[in-house]
Amino acid sequence: MAIESINPATGERVEVYEEHTFEQAREAIEAADRAFRGWRETDFGQRAERMRRAAELLRERKRDYARLMCDEMGKLLRDGEAEAEKCAWVCEYYAENARAFLAHEPIETDASKSFVCFEPLGAVLAVMPWNFPFWQVFRFAAPALMAGNVGVLKHASNVPGCALEIERVFRDAGFPADAFRSLLVRGSEMERVIAHPKLRAVTLTGSTPAGRAVARQAGERLKKTVLELGGSDAYVILEDADLEAAARACVDSRLINAGQSCIAAKRFVVPAAVRAEFERLYVAEMRRRRLGDPTDPDSDLGPQAREDLRDELHGQVERSVAAGARCLLGGEVPERAGAWYPPTVLTDVAPGMPAYDDELFGPVAAIIPVADEDEAIRVANDSPFGLGAAVFTRDRARGEEIAARRLEAGCCFVNAFVKSDPRLPFGGVKESGYGRELGPYGIKEFVNVKTVYVQ
């Protein structure tokens, strides 16, 4: 069978790739396991040399990779180049810091010597999404490979070219030929893939239903998992906030990657005292953003990644309006070829509407009116998700207290929109998953935390 890559801006075929059979996938996993036996014996200096070379290649090829991301999932060219740069950053970060993060930790006991060391597990399977087709992979791969593991990638079926290019980056950087392999297999094969005994752990970034399926399949085989799942991030706009700055930051976050980001702002919780002014500023800012050709430098957002995803988003908007939400901007499917959807603003959003209860994976903002700060915090936490959240206030101490103690999310920001950073742990709570990527915590997810006791 074949896997087609379709340009979402035009609906035209980009490329056709031959799907791997399960036998080919099995051989790739076993080759990765053989590569692990040698790779685990390398020292941090050898690993870092190759990882820095991977960073160099990402920067040298960033225009080509940006074009590939644009063609396969509709990302703006400038955003694709920035994504490749961020991947280079995470490679350099772990090349520089892995040795310190995984250094032996001495612990005083009644032994003559006792310490904790960190040993690699082996082949780690990464099940990755299409929305950040390079970044999502590299933020897993850089720490995993620097820890001495090897990687096997099952990428989203609409970005097969990206999957193969990522494999090539590691190969060209001097990693062992099978230390990172990409499998072009369909989701229906994943249970058999996960069951392979040479795969020691699984990490998934994707939807909550996909996370449940992978957690069940891996759990039945007692394999460690890290899950970064959906989000419906709430941004609380307090009465003392700088509303103009808040509106700009909220629009920037809502339209990242044409709204297709798990940590994009989705729900805007606004007290009655400033609701009208915030709505005016927010709608005006959204109206200024230009929907257009992702290859055009003047475009602010491109198409959705697939037409079926666009149609699902539009259905959520229609059902929310039917339930009583008001549409202040957008909300109509453009009459043009491709998976286009305009910047859209809904207000009077309430429980029972998709815009309140579900994740809106596209450029649709949900404004939720509340009476005061206490109700705003309650509404922000009234979600099955808990990936990111933000609060806007001129009182930084107040904002810090709300972020640290009152918002239920893995990443909480004050007067800024939520974003990932190689230096900071990233992940969620509740139905947004468990485990952490990035920072010193991320590299320790896929290691054996081993006690050594010497009498």
In 3D space, the residue among 120, 125, 110, 138 whose CA is nearest the CA of residue 44 turns out to be 120
| Residues 257 and 216 occupy one common structural domain | no
Tell whether the model's pLDDT for residue 59 goes beyond 80: yes
Calculate what percentage of the chain has a pLDDT beyond 90. 99
Amino acid at 264: A
| Residues 120 and 150 occupy one common structural domain | yes
Q: Flag whether 345 is in a domain.
A: yes
Residue 171: predicted pLDDT: 98
Q: Flag whether 22 is in a domain.
A: yes
Its domain, for residue 338, covers 233-421
Tell whether the model's pLDDT for residue 1 goes beyond 80: no
| Residues 113 and 160 occupy one common structural domain | yes
207: helix, strand or coil: coil
Q: How many domains does the chain have?
A: 2
Q: What is the CATH number of the domain that holds 267?
A: 3.40.309.10
Q: Flag whether 191 is in a domain.
A: yes
- Tens digit of pLDDT for each residue in 362-395? 999 999 999 999 999 999 999 999 999 999 999 9
Tell whether the model's pLDDT for residue 105 goes beyond 90: yes
Mean pLDDT of 89-100: 98
Indicate the average pLDDT of the chain.
97
Mean pLDDT of 19-37: 97
128: helix, strand or coil: coil
| Residues 52 and 160 occupy one common structural domain | yes
- Tens digit of pLDDT for each residue in 315-335? 999 999 999 999 999 999 999
| Residues 239 and 219 occupy one common structural domain | no
Q: Flag whether 301 is in a domain.
A: yes
Residue 393: predicted pLDDT: 98
Expressed in angstroms, the distance from the first to the final Cα of the chain is: 59
Mean pLDDT of 396-405: 98
| Residues 445 and 297 occupy one common structural domain | no
Cite the active site residues: 228, 262
- Contact partners, residue 184, CB within 8 Å, separation at least 6: 3, 17, 18, 19, 20, 160, 163, 164
Q: Look at strands 344-347 and 447-454 and give their pairing.
A: unpaired
Residue 52: predicted pLDDT: 98
Q: Flag whether 120 is in a domain.
A: yes
Residue 435 is given by DSSP the state S
| Residues 199 and 276 occupy one common structural domain | no
Residue 258: predicted pLDDT: 98
Tell whether the model's pLDDT for residue 307 goes beyond 80: yes
| Residues 17 and 51 occupy one common structural domain | yes
- Could you tell me the two tokens for 304? 């959705």
| Residues 23 and 143 occupy one common structural domain | yes
Residue 164: predicted pLDDT: 98
pTM of the entire predicted model: 0.97
Q: Flag whether 89 is in a domain.
A: yes
Q: Flag whether 426 is in a domain.
A: no
Mean pLDDT of 230-236: 96
Residue 188: predicted pLDDT: 87
Mean pLDDT of 244-252: 98
Residue 181: predicted pLDDT: 98
Residue 129: predicted pLDDT: 97
Tell whether the model's pLDDT for residue 15 goes beyond 90: yes
- Tens digit of pLDDT for each residue in 129-176? 999 999 999 999 999 999 999 999 999 999 999 999 999 999 999 999
Q: Flag whether 50 is in a domain.
A: yes
| Residues 237 and 292 occupy one common structural domain | yes
Q: What is the CATH number of the domain that holds 30?
A: 3.40.605.10
Mean pLDDT of 31-59: 98
| Residues 402 and 437 occupy one common structural domain | no
| Residues 71 and 129 occupy one common structural domain | yes
Task: State the Cα–Cα distance between residues 412 and 398, nearest whole angstrom.
Answer: 13
Q: What is the CA radius of gyration of the chain?
A: 22
Mean pLDDT of 72-98: 98
